[in-house]
A and B are shown apart, each in its own frame.
Chain A
Amino acid sequence: MLTLDCPYCGLAKDETELSYGGEAHLKRHGPGSSAAEMEEYLFTRENPKGLHFERWRCSAGCGKWFHAARCTVTMEVFGTYAAQTFEPPAEIKKAITAKRPGWTWRNFQ
């Protein structure tokens, strides 16, 4: 069972109270973008064995979307943070570096 802290409720919520929202930090390519960019936006997804960034919604609680950084192998959660961010905040990156030195995920490191 995956347990995540909702940054809005400030409470630990278990998987059954949350909804999964796919990969985090996708850049939407709109009108004027190339076919390759559109393909990237629609279909190309990370499928890592290890560190991953995801979107989750506190669906049976406050209803807010948030981001989570976790490990897909150990189910370890490095932290959760607000959805209104383009990249993981410094404290999340620091928490990941402490456990997984030299980590990279897409353009982040």
Chain B
Amino acid sequence: MSEPYVSVARLDGIAMITVRADLADKAVVKAVKTSTGMTVPATASALMDGDSGLGWMSPDELLVVCPETERAATVDGLTANLSKSHALVVDVSDARAVFELKGAAVRDVLAKLVPTDTHTDALPQNALRRTRFGQVAGAFWFQDATTVRIVCFRSVADYMHRMLDQSTAAGSEVFAT
């Protein structure tokens, strides 16, 4: 059997922390900056640097991504710095699964599964989109021009993995290369 035209891998060792707080509040933005060293991204976008980064999930929800080794320290840091704000910090790593798609046709693969317009004009590289993949909720962002990371609930990770494998199978290319 020939190789898939876009590679699919389930990643381990990436922690995810949810921060619920008013992202328009300057004190919250400052506390996040102090804790993670990163600026809260604009609406519907993500700021990612390797395995660390921040993602805008809603006007009052921030996704903090970090390597597994920094998980406890990040949660403690955010909790301490946000103690004076109306905020909630929860480690959701064990509830989620992360997949990475890599390949030149990565936007074509996304277009098969999500209702979002995946053309570069409509979806810039710094975008983070919460949408549905097939029948399950998920979110994705770009690591670089040809790499996409998808997060979904762990309970639907098996469905997601099979769907991604099927969508990237050799012979199922949207455009001939």
Interface residues of A (CB under 8 A from B): 8-14, 16-17, 60-64
Contact = CB atoms under 8 A, between A and B. Distances in A.
Interface of B: 43-44, 57-59, 61, 115, 117, 129-132, 137
Nearest to B136: A60
A91 to B, nearest CB: 20
B131 A17 contact: yes
Q: Which 4 A-B pairs have the closest CB atoms?
A: A62-B58, A60-B132, A61-B130, A14-B115
A11 B115 contact: no
13 contacts: A9-B43, A10-B44, A12-B117, A16-B132, A17-B132, A60-B130, A60-B131, A60-B137, A61-B129, A62-B57, A62-B61, A63-B61, A64-B59
A61 B43 CA distance: 12
B43 A10 contact: yes
Q: Is the interface of B mostly helix, strand, loop or mixed?
A: strand
Given A11-B44, A16-B132, A17-B131, A62 B59 contact: yes
Given A9-B43, A11-B44, A62 B115 contact: no
Given A9-B43, A10-B43, A10-B44, A62 B130 contact: yes
